[in-house]
Each structure stands twice: as C-alpha cells, then as structure tokens.
Chains A and B, each alone.
Chain A
C-alpha cells in the first residue's frame, strides 16, 4: 500500500506545500487504491474521470506561485447526496440514475475553490434514509473492518472510503446521525456542524430542518480543515447562519496540543444508561470517560428527560418533510420516466415513483403524508415539534451545567449486512443518541474511542456542544483523540484488516 494514502489530509497538505508530493501523485495513489479495494468495499458510485485533470491544475497553479488554500491538492470523496456538475448525482436512488445537475452544491463549489480534488461520489442509503447503506439502489457498501458488516448509514460510502484509505477526506450529510454513526462503526471521525453552519444548497433534501452537511475524516484536525473550507454563510441557503466562525483547524490544533480537558465539565446523560448499549460499546465509552477524567475533566451526570422521545419525534418530522421534499421526483422535468402508452400525467408520475423509489423511501413518504394529513397534523407533526422544543430545553438546561455532553455514538458496533434490513424499528433505534442533536440543531462529533472488547469492532464516542460552539467540539475531540492515540500507540485504523491483498 502506498504511503501517500496512509497520510492524513493535514500531513498530505504539508507534503504538497513542500513539493514532496504532487496532487497528481496523491490523486493517482487514491485512484489506484479505489481500483484495488472498491470492488470489495463499494464505497463509490462514481469515480471522477477528471480527477487527475483537477489535480494537474492545482499542481500547475502551485508551480506558478499561486497562493493556494491550506489543503489544496488533497483528494476528496463526495457523498452522492451533493449535486455536482461533472458527475452524476443520484442520492442513492434509481429515480435519479445518471442525473446531471446544472449547478454544484455550495460545499462542492467551495471545495473546488479551495483546491480539493473530487475523487468521486460515494454510496448512501437512498435519499439518505437508513443506517446501513443497505437501502442504496446501487447495492450496499461494506465495512472495511469486516466486509460482511454494514458501514453505517446513510453515509456509509463516505465513511468506508475514508476508513479504507480510498480518500483522506469526505463530505457527508447528517439528518439523524448519517455522518456520526458511520464514523462510529468504521473507526473514523464524523462531524455534524451546528444547523446553519454549513450551506445545504445543493444537498438533495431529506428533511430540511434536520439536514446538515459536514466532514468525514480520519482525524479531528482533518475534519476541522475541511469544515473551514465548506462552512460559513451562503446567500443561497436562507437557513445558513451569518456568524463569523473561528478556524476549526486551529481549534483542533489547540485541543491536541493544550490542556483543554483540564476543568472541562463533561455531561453524561442519566437517561442513557449503559444497559441500553452493547457491552463492548458501553465499556469503551466508560474507558474514554476515564481518560478524560485522568486529563482533568470532570464527569457530571445530567438529565435529559426528553431524549427518549427523540426517535419517535424524529420519525414523524423526517418523513413529513421528506414526503414533501421528494414530491419533485415526478418524471416531468428531470430524472427517470416510466413511459406509459396513453396514460395521463398522473399515471406517469405514479408509475415512475413506483418504479423509481425503493421500499424504505416509500415507507417514509407514506408515513409523512399521513402525519401531515388534516386531522392528524396536530397529533403527529404538531406533537413531534413540541417534543423537539422540549429536547432543545433539555440541552439548554444541560449546557447550563456542563461544557459538553458525551454519549456513545451508537448503541452497537457494526451489525451484519442483512441483519436488520427486515426490521425498520430496530434500524431506526441505531440513531438513538445522534438524533437529539439534529432535533435541537446543536453540533455533534463522533471520534474513535477504541475497539469493543466483545467483538473487536470500532466504537465511537460522541460529544455534543451548544449551538455555534462547534470549535469546542474540535478542541475536546482533538484532546481526547491525542490521549487515546497515544495510549494505543498509533491510530485505531492501523488495526483494521488489510484490504485487497489479493488484487
């Protein structure tokens, strides 16, 4: 395996800046890696034929003395939920097979402007509905730690690509945990920014009030570097915040180097007892808390009594918004069309949606349509919004006492492909600890906390902070990451099995 692909984005950026490696070399190394292992992993739905051209352009500009951004020339994997002008954007659905967008998502445009080299589009659950990437219309992605297991979802492709060293950086989207839960099961870092911190323009909407785009990487610093590129106000997204954000890379560096854990108050949610988690997950979580404590943090039990209603509220709000967001896929203007002989436009719309959407998408459209119906609105959507307010209050109360909240990132380690596909409720419970952040709009990060003692698979710890305090998560995450990597004697991913040896 080439050394280049083992580098973090920060390390690679340094070598690019120093002229030790060219972007073309780095891009080629990752394309080679994709060619070698993606047949097994299936992280990518599309590989960018123009990646080397983009890399060569960066090399040329660097050679010409142009001042480039801090991570210019570093390759990037892009979740297929983000529209791109030079690659198809399907959101994992048959209904958008081959769809070419006339515009780039803002995060993609900003990545290009920063000199990042798009390697391709990554696999995902159809329209980001799922926790395993098994709901992709193009087949599942496999977890690089165990190819028989799920890579999480919906952004399993981005997490697996990063974990399998097919890309140093990836973009994800997180509606209820789609960045953080895949990070948890693949031993990678996933950050869901504050709602409005990163533009949603060009992210094919699942649930507009919950969706947030964010970085998927192998280190906290890399996440900060990518977040610095994609974040900030976008006039195309009315819900994007106009705040001036600090550098998240700087926050990560500060965390890794300083004493940020000293005196830090870390809240642990009383209503999420260890008994609710796989033993190995709870054990890894407790061990991380011990490390935090050993570095001077204070662990404080807090109460968030409404978290337990989060999943129920989420599965009303999300389908309701999704049922409306997905109405545009009707064959009239773009995308798949099922031609009927002599049918009305309604017939064609219905036939197209029947053929183009998978079962999980249909299930949620039906749920959402029902939840918004006259006579049910108050009982379902209305009540769910009230729960949302109560969860926001839980956070407000908690953050009056603590600086960050810590939880296991998900209840279990990676389960087997097919294990929960027939049981939507079990699948939905995967997002138990990640959903509250989306409902409240607060930022959350998942970083590797170790391997579960019971099955040897990766486990993540999630930190949550008040809205707009994303930098705090980078400081705390990088501090714990430094302590853990130190204790492990190297990154967790060094312990992942070797892939593609035979190829």
Chain B
C-alpha cells in the first residue's frame, strides 16, 4: 500500500505545489434544504424524512429560505460577489444514498463567486486564498457497509442506508488554484480549513464540528517542475476531515507525487482516500473531466433572486473577519503570542472574550478556560463551553478578587458549578467554602500553632520571617484551607511580636 515518497524539502526543491480545496459546510438550519423535515444529527436512522428526501413519486423540492440567507452571509464573509440570480441544477448519477438519483446542486450559476479569504499561518504570516465560488446543494444519505474489512463498500456483505442526512443543506466552497504556498503548503491547508471553520462559527450558520462531518474537505494537489508554466495533473483526496489530516494529506501527496514525477512517471488524475491510521492516501476511482453528470437546470425550482436589500442587510450583520478579530483581541488583551495562540488553538476565543466582557481580567479569563475548565472538560470528554458559561466564570473570578475565595477554594466552587450545584455564590454558601475572614478565629488558630511550635516562634522573633511558613501551613490546615494566606501571615507576625 505504501507508495514511494520523496523527502519533503527535496520535493519542494524540484517542484512547485499547487493546491485547491473544496470544503463542504453543513448548515445548521432548522429544516432541510428542500423539505420541512428536521435537519438533525444522531437521531434514529430514517426518521427525519419528508417525501422529497426519499425521492417519493410526486414529491417536489422547495428551497429553504434560511439556507439561502446563510449561504449569502457565507459568500459575503468569503469576500464573494452575490449573484443577482442563481440557479439550481440536477447532478444525475445513480447511487443508493441519493433518494432521487440526482443531487440538486448549483452548477454554472452559483449564489456566490469570486472572493478571497485571509488565512493566518501559525507564525503570523498572512496568506490570501482566492475563492472561485460558493454554491448551495443538498447532502446525500449515509451508507454503512456491513461485513467487509474497514467499513468500505468493497467486500461488504450488505449496506445500510440512512436518509436522515439526505437533503441537509450544504455550501460547497471551491478555491481557485492556490500558488505560492511552497513549504507552507501543508500548513496552509490546515489553516484554510480552520479559517473556514472560524468564519462559519462566527456567522453561527453551522455547528462546525469536523468530527461530525459538519465541515468536510477535499484537498487537490498537483506539482509542476520548477520553471514550468503548465499545471501538473492533480489528485483529489476526498473527505479529509480534521485540520491535522489536511496538513498531513497535503504533505503526503506532495511527497508521493514528487517521487513519481522524479522517476519519470505520470500522475493519474483520480480521487484518493486518506487513511488516518497509516498516514497515506490510496487510489479511489479514476476521475476525468469526462465524468458526465448530465447537469441541467432543475425544472422544479425557480432561480434564486435575492433582493439587494436582503444582501445589504446580511452584509451589515456580518461579524468581524476572524483574522482581523484575532489581531484586535490579541492587542487588546496584551497576551504573548504563545498565550494567545493557545487560546485560539483550543477554540476558546469566544469564551475568553465573553468572560472578559462579563468583567474578568484577560489574564484571569484565559487562566480559567485554558487550565481548570479545559482540564475538567478533558476528563469528561466534553467541550469546555459545555461545562460553564462565561458569565459564571466571571462571577467566580469576582469572588476571588473580593477575597471571598482563594484560588484553591475557587477551583472547588468551579467543580460545584460543573456539577450543576448553582451559581458560584450559591455554592460558596451551600458548601461553606468562603475564606475565614474572622480575625478572632484566625488568631486563636495562630496562637495554638505558635504554642505548639515554640522553636518556630523563636525564629520569627529572631527576625527569620520566612519561618512563618510553617505556622501558615498549620493554620491553613486548621481552617481547612478556607483562609487568606496573606492575612494569616500578617497576623502571625503581629502575634509573634507581642
């Protein structure tokens, strides 16, 4: 299976990589693209269906207006022009996951065309990715192949089909050929997909969960010898569904193609499968420009003609572009590169921003989300944002700032919050976790500790102030941690001086 590959640097020396991406984004509309069946995930197979999703005789598609608006917003966010009139077409091919045996998609008249997306690489380099088009289409059903190796259709005994996904609205974003990425080509793939994810998240038009297939990427790679004008033959690696995989797949294809070309071989134009486990691609079906889907305009639907008012309304409502927003936030928060990138990579930018907006300092907000909350989420296999809200985190931090809680107590309160015990204050009250601020109780505990450790008392009296640590430890233990160590220290020095 494993093909011969060339060292990456060597490959880049000999060839220029040219990339192209087709990214499918599932929209999170209430209903499907062409029916009123719920657009759901993870439900009992074949339950969220309308006649048109199954291609039942006499059924007809009706365009989901919400999906059109989402698509326009996405087109605008990608810097595209929005077509005054765009049209659906039928892409005809027989496949059992396709209820009608044609897919309704936009073909020669997409809703959005000619855009550009700014992609930021890890070292801060900005790269402009040219967008050819973004068009609307419907998803197919889901096939599960049973009885063969690796769940593939080859060798399967039978296949099950779930049409719940059939008709889920998709936008397919197609780039133009991307030149000039050079050594950054693999990273650019990942960064591009991350940018698309950030954009659709900011727009709120997709759940954007790559592991659920909300965003799926096909990566096109071709190489041309240095100095050659003509583009090389490309391969299309299908369904590379994590950012890391995109990076690895692009890198692998560059190395594989370079090895073939350097040996005087030729690249076969084909689709390829990405194997996450082995980190290689393998041939899928041959793909040629002669693939004949017999496209023709969908006669059951009228052209999509959005009003200029709608387009302008959606344009005015666009969120700040992710890259620009990141630049702004980083400056506002004063984070170091590594701190800020950590937040971005953890996907916690929104949460940190909202926590700061709710009153926490940037440092405190980052600390909570990146350490304790992430740790708890990780242990539970959940997303940090599912555990607590930014408002709760800010409230918790307020209790710390007010001296009601120590960091250690605050972590206990956080656990209570995650367990659903209520607001931070409610948990403090219920668990009796507040710092003991009654000097009388502290002094009693201090006096007891000093009496128990006369040698330490003597040292303190001698001016060896650091010896107070042992007394602090004893007092904190007696207070079960619910004391402000700084205040305890102050009191110890006072008592020792008496």
Whether the pair A373, B292 counts as a contact (CB closer than 8 A) is: yes
Say whether A503 faces chain B, with CB atoms less than 8 Å apart. no
Give the interface size bracket for A toward B: 35 or more
Whether the pair A83, B57 counts as a contact (CB closer than 8 A) is: yes
Closest to B55 in A: A328
Bound Cα distance A334, B292 (Å): 27
Bound Cα distance A373, B93 (Å): 12
B96-132 interface mask toward A, CB cutoff 8 Å, 1 = contact, 0 = none? 1001111000000000000000000000000000000
Cβ–Cβ < 8 Å partners of B296 in chain A:
320-321, 324, 372, 377, 381
Bound Cα distance A200, B61 (Å): 11
Whether the pair A239, B94 counts as a contact (CB closer than 8 A) is: no
Bound Cα distance A472, B389 (Å): 66
B155-190 interface mask toward A, CB cutoff 8 Å, 1 = contact, 0 = none? 000010101000000000000000000000000000
How near does chain A come to B88, taking the closest CB pair, in angstroms? 10
Whether the pair A238, B60 counts as a contact (CB closer than 8 A) is: yes
Say whether A22 faces chain B, with CB atoms less than 8 Å apart. no
Whether the pair B57, A91 counts as a contact (CB closer than 8 A) is: yes
Task: Tell me which residues from 320 to 339 in chain A have a Cβ below 8 Å from any Cβ of chain B.
Answer: 320-321, 323-324, 327-328, 330, 332-334
Task: Tell me which residues from 372 to 410 in chain A have a Cβ below 8 Å from any Cβ of chain B.
Answer: 372-374, 377, 381
B283-300 interface mask toward A, CB cutoff 8 Å, 1 = contact, 0 = none? 000000010101110011
Q: How many residues of B contact A (CB 8 A)?
A: 31
Among B59, B92, B296, B301, max chain A CB count under 10 A is at B296
Task: Tell me which residues from 64 to 105 in chain B have a Cβ below 8 Å from any Cβ of chain A.
Answer: 90, 92, 94, 96, 99-102
Say whether A369 faces chain B, with CB atoms less than 8 Å apart. yes
Cβ–Cβ < 8 Å partners of B58 in chain A:
82-83, 89, 101, 103, 105, 201-205
Say whether A98 faces chain B, with CB atoms less than 8 Å apart. no
Among A99, A101, A332, max chain B CB count under 10 A is at A332
Closest to A240 in B: B60
Cβ–Cβ < 8 Å partners of B60 in chain A:
200-201, 205, 236-238
How near does chain B come to A1, taking the closest CB pair, in angstroms? 35
Bound Cα distance A336, B486 (Å): 83
Bound Cα distance A207, B297 (Å): 12
A81-103 interface mask toward B, CB cutoff 8 Å, 1 = contact, 0 = none? 01100000101000010010111
Cβ–Cβ < 8 Å partners of A327 in chain B:
92, 94, 100-102
Cβ–Cβ < 8 Å partners of A247 in chain B:
none
Say whether B470 faces chain A, with CB atoms less than 8 Å apart. no
Cβ–Cβ < 8 Å partners of B299 in chain A:
207-209, 239, 321
B47-66 interface mask toward A, CB cutoff 8 Å, 1 = contact, 0 = none? 00001001111111111000
Whether the pair B302, A239 counts as a contact (CB closer than 8 A) is: yes
Bound Cα distance A82, B359 (Å): 64
How near does chain A come to B98, taking the closest CB pair, in angstroms? 9
Where chain B touches its partner, the secondary structure class is loop
A181-215 interface mask toward B, CB cutoff 8 Å, 1 = contact, 0 = none? 00000000000000000001111110111000000
Whether the pair B62, A238 counts as a contact (CB closer than 8 A) is: yes
Partner of A324, one of B92, B99, B290, B302: B92
Whether the pair A332, B92 counts as a contact (CB closer than 8 A) is: no
Among B57, B100, B292, B294, max chain A CB count under 10 A is at B57
Say whether A346 faces chain B, with CB atoms less than 8 Å apart. yes
Closest to A332 in B: B96
Cβ–Cβ < 8 Å partners of B290 in chain A:
374
Partner of A345, one of B51, B56, B96, B100: B96
Bound Cα distance A14, B357 (Å): 74
Whether the pair B300, A239 counts as a contact (CB closer than 8 A) is: yes
How near does chain B come to A278, taking the closest CB pair, in angstroms? 34
Whether the pair A101, B57 counts as a contact (CB closer than 8 A) is: yes
Partner of B57, one of A96, A320, A345: A96
Whether the pair B100, A374 counts as a contact (CB closer than 8 A) is: no
Cβ–Cβ < 8 Å partners of A205 in chain B:
58, 60, 300
Partner of A333, one of B99, B159, B302: B99
Bound Cα distance A324, B51 (Å): 17
Report if A346-B94 is in contact (Cβ < 8 Å); known contacts: A236-B60, A238-B301, A330-B101.
Answer: yes
How near does chain A come to B62, taking the closest CB pair, in angstroms? 5
Task: List 3 tightest A-B contacts by C-beta distance, closest first.
Answer: A327-B101, A208-B299, A372-B294
- Beyond the given pairs A328-B100, A372-B294, 17 more chain A to chain B contacts, judged by CB atoms under 8 angstroms and listed by A's residue number, are A83-B58, A200-B60, A207-B299, A235-B62, A236-B60, A238-B60, A238-B63, A321-B296, A323-B92, A327-B100, A327-B102, A328-B55, A328-B56, A328-B57, A333-B163, A374-B290, A377-B294
Mark A residues whose CB is within 8 Å of B: 82-83, 89, 91, 96, 99, 101-103, 105, 200-205, 207-209, 235-239, 320-321, 323-324, 327-328, 330, 332-334, 345-346, 349, 369, 372-374, 377, 381
Task: Provide 28 A-B residue pairs closer than 8 Å at the C-beta atoms, listed in order of the A residue.
Answer: A101-B57, A102-B51, A103-B56, A103-B58, A105-B58, A201-B60, A205-B60, A235-B62, A236-B62, A237-B300, A238-B60, A238-B300, A238-B301, A239-B300, A320-B296, A321-B299, A324-B102, A328-B55, A328-B56, A328-B57, A328-B99, A332-B161, A333-B55, A333-B99, A345-B159, A349-B94, A372-B296, A373-B292
